[in-house]
């Protein structure tokens, strides 16, 4: 038996039952899956102020499968206007930094789906980057550095993330790692510095202390925002096309490093880096399927005979 669909006209009170609220939310998720963006925004606007018996709004109930809330689901299905509508009108009701079963936030999903306008809107709130307090999850910084930096929107997001970390978490180890990757590429640093005056963005002041802290692994009160208020006017980053991915030993879920020797692990790293080339073996062809090639030389020999 299918669930009954409740129409908006049936809901007249501020507080509704859990069952009705769940049905409303599931309807919105279904509309998102159909990419019916206009109706999604209409339903959100009408039902945004309702609370169920537990005091939860439509934005606080996930889809139980991937643990995506409505905002994350809009980002997942590429509904940019609906995502911007939620952030701009209901950001106080939405947990912008919610993490789903895959360990992703709305910001990470937007970066993966090239929704950089939504990503920039999310970066206006500190709550959208929960990895600042949790260095064990993949960061938005990691994801964006694995993409080609080849358009203005992604450049802006990259610079916004640099500003963000320098402002809110300048001693973050993951941030140091990524800045160290950027600063280790002299060509990239030169491209960045050539576009901005040192009064606006001085990579010497950014790279030097972070590289020292990264190498020595000493981060306690070593890095300071130095004067990053001057960098808040930056709107563009580098046109440099940068593909970065850290070497991975093995992504199989049952991999256990303790089962291998240091030499074996080193060999696995090398194979992974080289693409794990395998020796090609010649495919055996049955005798009855073998055919002689009748080229020019064959025809010539036939005429001579």
For position 297, what pLDDT does the model report?
Answer: 53
For the residues 32-44, what does the mean pLDDT come to? 96
| 141-196 pLDDT tens trace | 888 888 887 777 877 787 788 878 878 888 777 888 888 888 887 877 776 676 66
Lowest mean pLDDT among 95-99, 154-158, 211-215, 234-238: 234-238
> Is the model's pLDDT at 233 over the cut of 60?
no
- Percent of the chain residues past pLDDT 90, beyond the cut: 27
| 50-72 pLDDT tens trace | 999 889 999 999 987 788 999 99
Closest CA relative to residue 179, chosen from 209, 147, 207: 207
**Class of the CATH domain delimited by 1-128:** mainly alpha
| 101-148 pLDDT tens trace | 888 999 999 999 999 999 999 998 878 887 666 666 678 888 888 888
The pLDDT-based confidence of 289 (bands split at 50, 70, 90) is: low
Q: Where are the domains of the chain?
A: 1-128, 139-245
């Amino acid at each position: 038996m299918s669930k009954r669909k409740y129409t908006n006209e049936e809901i007249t009170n501020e507080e509704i039952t859990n069952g009705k609220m769940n049905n409303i939310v599931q309807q919105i998720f279904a509309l998102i899956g159909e990419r019916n963006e206009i109706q999604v925004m209409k339903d959100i606007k009408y039902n945004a102020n309702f609370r169920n018996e537990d005091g939860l709004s439509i934005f606080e109930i996930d889809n139980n499968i991937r643990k995506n809330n409505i905002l994350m689901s809009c980002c997942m299905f590429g509904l940019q206007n609906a995502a911007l509508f939620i952030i701009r009108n209901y950001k106080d009701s939405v947990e912008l930094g919610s993490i789903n079963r895959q360990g992703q936030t709305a910001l990470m999903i937007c970066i993966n789906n090239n929704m950089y306008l939504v990503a920039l809107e999310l970066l206006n709130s500190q709550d959208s980057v929960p990895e600042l307090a949790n260095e064990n999850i993949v960061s938005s910084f990691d994801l964006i550095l694995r993409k080609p930096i080849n358009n203005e929107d992604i450049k802006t997001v990259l610079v916004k993330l640099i500003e963000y970390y320098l402002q809110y978490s300048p001693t973050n180890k993951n941030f140091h790692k990524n800045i160290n990757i950027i600063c280790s590429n002299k060509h990239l640093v030169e491209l960045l510095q050539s576009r901005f005056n040192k009064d606006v963005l001085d990579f010497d002041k950014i790279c030097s202390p972070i590289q020292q802290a990264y190498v020595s692994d000493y981060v306690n009160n070593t890095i300071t925002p130095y004067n990053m208020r001057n960098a808040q006017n930056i709107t563009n980053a580098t046109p440099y096309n940068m593909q970065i991915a850290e070497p991975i030993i093995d992504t199989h879920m049952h991999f256990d490093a303790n089962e291998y020797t240091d030499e074996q692990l080193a060999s696995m790293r090398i194979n992974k880096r080289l693409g794990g080339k395998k020796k090609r073996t010649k495919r055996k062809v049955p005798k009855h399927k073998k055919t002689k090639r009748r080229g020019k030389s064959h025809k010539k020999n036939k005429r001579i005979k």
